[in-house]
Amino acid sequence: MPSWLIIFLILAGTLFILKLLYVLAFGWTLPVTRGALFVSTASVRIKTFLNAVPMETGELLVDIGCGDGRVLRAAHRRYGVKAIGFEVNPLAYLTARVLGLRTPGIRIKRGNFWPEDLGDADVVFCYLFPDVMERLAGKLEKELRPGTRVISCNFPLPGWRADRVLRPDSTRHNDPIYLYRIPNAKPKQRPRKIP
- Domains of the chain (ranges plus CATH)? 43-181 (3.40.50.150)
The string over 133-160, giving b where at least 16 C-beta atoms fall within 10 Å of a residue's C-beta and e elsewhere, is beebbebbeebbbeebbbbbbebbbeeb
Per-residue model confidence as pLDDT tens digits over 162-189: 999 999 988 788 899 999 999 875 444 4
CA 119, CA 193: separation in Å to the nearest integer? Answer: 9
Beta pairing partners, 62: 84, 124
* pLDDT exceeds cutoff 50 at 9: yes
Coil, strand or helix at 107: strand
Per-residue model confidence as pLDDT tens digits over 26-40: 665 555 555 556 678
* pLDDT exceeds cutoff 90 at 2: no
Mean per-residue pLDDT over the chain, rounded: 86
Q: Above pLDDT 70, what percent of the chain?
A: 83
What is the per-residue pLDDT for 13? 77
Mean pLDDT of 2-14: 79
Per-residue model confidence as pLDDT tens digits over 121-168: 999 999 988 888 999 999 999 999 999 999 999 999 999 999 999 999
What is the per-residue pLDDT for 187? 43
Q: What is the value of pTM for the model shown?
A: 0.78
What burial class does residue 86 get, using C-beta atoms within 10 Å of its C-beta: 0-12 exposed, 13-18 middle, 19+ buried? buried
CA 55, CA 35: separation in Å to the nearest integer? Answer: 32
**What backbone phi and psi angles, to 5 degrees, belong to 133?**
-65, -35
Under the banding of pLDDT at 50, 70 and 90, the label for residue 11 is: confident
